[in-house]
Structure 1
Amino acid sequence: MNLKWVILKPNMVLPGLSNAKPAGIDKVAEATVNCLLQSVPAMVPGIAFLSGGQSAELATAHLNAMHVKFKGKLPWALTFSFARAIQQPALEIWKGLNENVPAAQKMLYHRASLDNAARRGEYTPEMEKVFV
């Protein structure tokens, strides 16, 4: 296998479900990137994170923190391959009703835009409130 054609799709390093104390955003970012630095060859061009059951907001915040803390220090591109974290907020608005389609589409676009900002290290929690 030629590693220069591989896109890795891992979860982020998160505390187990039985852990009562959630890890901070920076701690998840550090643990995830440190794990990847120790195990993923620099020849791999990209890592596309799964949301792994995280809320939309946390998955976005964790991705953003990785870019902010490790900007310019990573050998691969970090991006998102979230499914549930992008789709769930839109599905909750839609509820299977045709009249909710426009609002659900706006939410889907909004979530994808937030994740794109996180991919560039430009996401802020205040952006969550700006839903057009």
Structure 2
Amino acid sequence: MADQALQVQEKKELVPKGEKTVPARYYVPTTDIYETDDALTVVMEVPGVDRKDVEVRIENDELHVEARIEFSKYEGMEPLYTEYNVGHFTRTFMLSQAVDQQQISAAMADGVLTLTLKKVQQAQPRRIAIT
């Protein structure tokens, strides 16, 4: 059996297209998307972020997620070793017509944000009876 050492995945820093009003680094959160017959589930890792510091909004058929770190938690810390940089998270998704924009819900637990995007009735698979 080959040695399978764990690989450290580097955090991807977001390269902004425009100017940001907050002088801090933004990172792309690691995200998984699952699809069921009636919804899409988006699971996003935002470690170190409190529920009150997460903003999810829809604008021009885009789903925007922004999660801000409270930097005061890290003041005075001098890490001996670190594998990721501390910074805010941001991600944007284009929404298709299959997503019911009025039926999007969000939950947060242990640094993981879970978004449930319900599909419109017409986009849900259905069985056609043969007569």
TM-score (norm 2): 0.25
Higher helix share: 1
